[in-house]
Amino acid sequence: MLFPPNSALLFVSALAVASANPLQRQHSFLATNATCPIDTISCSGEPVSPCCSPTNGLLVLALQWDTRWGPSNAFTVHGLWPDTCEGKQLPANGCDPARAYTNITSIIRSSDVSLLADMNTYWPSNKGDNNWFWTHEWVKHGTCVSTLHPQCYAEDAYRPQQEVADYFRTILDLRTKYDLYKALAKHDIVPTEPESGRRPKNTYSLKQFKQAILSEWGVEPNVRCIGRRLQEVFLWFKVRGRDNYYPVQPYGRDSCGAISYQRKTTAA
């Protein structure tokens, strides 16, 4: 890992200052050094500020295919879930009770109305209202992204709850960059119309899904089904620097054999 000039000594000094709040300790380090090293890789084992590289640095982007929700030509978002570097899940109640906000819709609306519109389109809830779903994702997962802690922002630039909008925008940007619908269609994997009372006209194999995504991004996904019906596709990531997400080989399991990838019934 490369450090800016004279930063190595400062970093060692920062580590030597014991504190009950490591992020508060590291914030002074960031203020002193202005920027974080850009080539740090999450889960590499290198000593680095949790503001400069996510502590829970193995993340899964869960994209879902629900025929009742979202545009007909797009997977919708379930979430971006930080895991430990060993692939273990984090606590169900999240990592920071002090930031367990329940008014996500109003926070996003006051920050970026275009982001809110995108969330309504590409991140709909299929079990309750959208705010309930987004609140769950923020509390359980968003609060566990260490690089988005308020103390990791420059003091003169941070706006209250800015990290919430940054979390959701990052995920929607990843959904756009890793457009599963387009990637699959490029390899002739498209939703099919089921025959009434019978199996779908066409099913795809797990191998076809994995090979299509491997061809596009150099890694395989995990593919999840309920029975034969496609449910979700997981893409796994590590992070270079603070927020440069890049795909890695999967750490999870598949639950599909033959895959029924059915057309949506939504009008969009």
For 54-83, what is each residue's pLDDT tens digit?
999 999 999 999 999 999 999 999 999 999
- More reliable by pLDDT, 16 or 130: 130
Catalytic residue among 136, 141, 149, 163: 141
For 215-238, what is each residue's pLDDT tens digit?
999 999 999 999 999 999 999 999
pLDDT of residue 56: 96
Would you call 27 a catalytic residue per the annotation?
A: no
Residue by residue, DSSP assigns the chain as: ----TTHHHHHHHHHHS--S-HHHHHHHHHHHHSS--SS-BTTS-----TTTS-SS-EEEEEEE--TTSS-TT-PEEEEEEEE-TTS----TT-S-GGG--S-HHHHHHHH-HHHHHHHHHHS--SSS-HHHHHHHHHHHTGGG-GGGSGGGS-TTT--TTHHHHHHHHHHHHHHHHT-HHHHHHHTT---BPBPTTS-BS--EEHHHHHHHHHHHHSS--EEEEETTEEEEEEEEEEEETTTEEEEE---S----SEEB-BPP-S--
Would you call 141 a catalytic residue per the annotation?
A: yes
For 181-200, what is each residue's pLDDT tens digit?
999 999 999 999 865 555 55
pLDDT of residue 126: 87
pTM for the model stands at: 0.85
Catalytic residue among 27, 136, 137, 220: 137
Would you call 149 a catalytic residue per the annotation?
A: no
